[in-house]
Amino acid sequence: MTGAPEHRRPRSDRSAGSSADPAVSFSRVHGDERRRALATLVSAFTHDPVERWLYPGSREYQAHFPGFVEAFGGRAFDSGTVWQLADFSVVALWLPPGTEADGSAVVAQLSRTVTSDKHAAIDSMLDQLGTAHPRYPHWYLTWFGVASGAQGQGLGGELLTRCLSIVDETRLPSYLESPNPGAVRFYERHGFVVTGSAQAGGCPPVSFMLRPARRD
């Protein structure tokens, strides 16, 4: 599941659809910067409906959410497809074509850290996400977030614009899941369309979104 850029903030992101600002620092995240990237996402997802359903307490969220991020999108670090903007104000974890999330690690992390009364709903959600996931080559945006103190400045749109320019060079589609209605609108402004949704038990719904390959 991927979150909204500024969870947040996608609703007021002024740069959505604009060209990239060359004055804002943009770079690939290296292995020794992994903790900084995770810290940004922990800050960004503090009010995310799904993540806080999983981990409603502040302490459990701080303790276990980073491990969930690693399980779901950690292979992006290995692939060299994690990018940041403005000194880690915004971070994006992409899985490139041919790379999948570590399903076993995801199940193990959630089984170990989420209360057992939510396990049935989690299993159903994961099944629905797996069924809907594209089987053809694509880029998968697993995590995307703006640190809480940097939200509302248009940085989410700036980073997504830069990332999509890289994706478009490959002439392949991109895919994500979002649990946040405001984020859905944000991604739609960048060319994504809703293709379906998942919901189970008390877990908030998650929207599936696809951005077709750019051929021009």
**Interval 112-148: pLDDT, tens:** 999 999 999 999 999 999 999 999 999 999 999 999 9
182, part of any domain: yes
The pLDDT value recorded for residue 20 is 52
Give the model's confidence band at 213: pLDDT under 50 very low, under 70 low, under 90 confident, else very high: very high
CATH assignment of the domain containing 26: 3.40.630.30
101, part of any domain: yes
Sheet architecture: strand order including 26-28: 26-28, 82-85, 90-95, 139-146, 174-178, 203-211, 193-200
2, part of any domain: no
Domain that holds residue 90: 10-211
Give yes or no for residue 79 having a pLDDT over 70.
Answer: yes
Which residues on adjacent β-strands are paired with residue 9? none
163, part of any domain: yes
5, part of any domain: no
Give yes or no for residue 35 having a pLDDT over 70.
Answer: yes
1, part of any domain: no
> Of 26-30, 110-114, 174-178, 179-183, where does mean pLDDT reach its minimum?
179-183
Which residues on adjacent β-strands are paired with residue 175? 140, 210
Residues in the chain: 216
160, part of any domain: yes
Give yes or no for residue 8 having a pLDDT over 50.
Answer: no
216, part of any domain: no
Give the model's confidence band at 182: pLDDT under 50 very low, under 70 low, under 90 confident, else very high: confident
**Total number of domains constituting the chain:** 1
Q: How far is residue 173's CA from residue 179's CA, in Å, rounded to a whole number? A: 20
